[in-house]
């Protein structure tokens, strides 16, 4: 939050990082784009935005960020992945392209583009106890779903049919949807709370 020492980072290799930075700054947080290992080492938390996970994977390896980011995740840095970012945090990725890797950390399996071409993008209301009432309007864009969760993983939100779309495990948070697009800042506030608690 404003006045705290280290900024919060948003991985800015690709995707909708600008929207996350705008929401964080709107909440009074010091937010910076992260493209280099030196920038990663300065932040107190990191958001991995939506975009295209196979491209983000390639760019993160090309920019030398993949290994430092895996180490940061393992050492307890609070990290929140939205949509493609959720895929990047998953230990197991289903329907990945050939050779696609993730950073991992969340003991889950996610399926990319899980809603298929019939229902590429949609919006719905989700009940999410950790952010409170009322239900949160959620935007899904070629979204992944969480197909299985390990024992240490908490499910934060599910669709009406039971499919899991938000999870938390220790320092890590993942959502299939895009809270940066709706003007409802409760999920960003929840993440900033985790960052403050870890500091």
- Given the rule CB under 6 A, which residues bind ligand GLN? 50-53, 83-84, 87, 112-113, 141-142
Least Å distance, CB 142 to ligand GLN, is: 4
> Residue 131 gets which letter from DSSP?
G
80 sits in which H/E element: strand 79-82
d(CA 23, CA 189): 10
Active site includes 123? no
Active site includes 133? no
22, 8 Cβ separation under 8 angstroms = no
Least Å distance, CB 145 to ligand GLN, is: 11
Exposed / middle / buried, residue 98 (Cβ in 10 Å: 0-12, 13-18, 19+) = exposed
Least Å distance, CB 127 to ligand GLN, is: 22
> Residue 33 gets which letter from DSSP?
E
Of 20, 168, 178, 188, which residue is the catalytic one?
Answer: 178
Active site includes 83? yes
51, 41 Cβ separation under 8 angstroms = no
d(CA 105, CA 102): 9
- Alpha-carbon Rg for the chain, nearest whole angstrom, is 15
Of 19, 20, 52, 83, which residue is the catalytic one?
Answer: 83
For ligand GLN, the closer CB: 30 or 91: 91
Give the three-class secondary structure for 181. Answer: helix
Least Å distance, CB 15 to ligand GLN, is: 6
For ligand GLN, the closer CB: 84 or 136: 84
Residues with a known catalytic role = 83, 178, 180
């Amino acid at each position: 939050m404003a006045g705290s020492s280290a900024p919060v980072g948003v991985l800015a290799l690709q995707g909708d990082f600008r929207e996350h930075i705008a929401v964080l700054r709107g909440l009074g947080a010091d937010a910076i784009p992260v493209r280099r290992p030196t920038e990663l080492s300065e932040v107190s938390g990191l958001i991995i935005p939506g975009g295209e996970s196979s491209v983000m994977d390639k760019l993160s390896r090309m920019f030398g960020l993949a290994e430092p980011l895996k180490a940061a995740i393992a050492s307890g840095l609070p990290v929140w992945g939205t949509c493609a970012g959720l895929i990047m945090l998953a230990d197991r990725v289903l329907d990945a392209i050939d050779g696609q890797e993730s950073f991992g950390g969340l003991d889950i399996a996610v399926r990319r583009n899980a809603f298929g071409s019939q229902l590429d993008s949609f919006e719905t209301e989700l009940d999410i106890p950790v952010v409170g009432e009322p239900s949160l309007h959620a935007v899904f864009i070629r979204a992944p779903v969480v197909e299985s969760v390990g024992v240490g993983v908490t499910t934060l939100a599910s669709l009406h049919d039971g499919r899991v779309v938000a999870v938390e495990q220790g320092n890590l948070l993942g959502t299939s949807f895009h809270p940066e697009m709706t003007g409802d800042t409760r999920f960003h506030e929840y993440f900033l709370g985790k960052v403050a608690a870890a500091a």
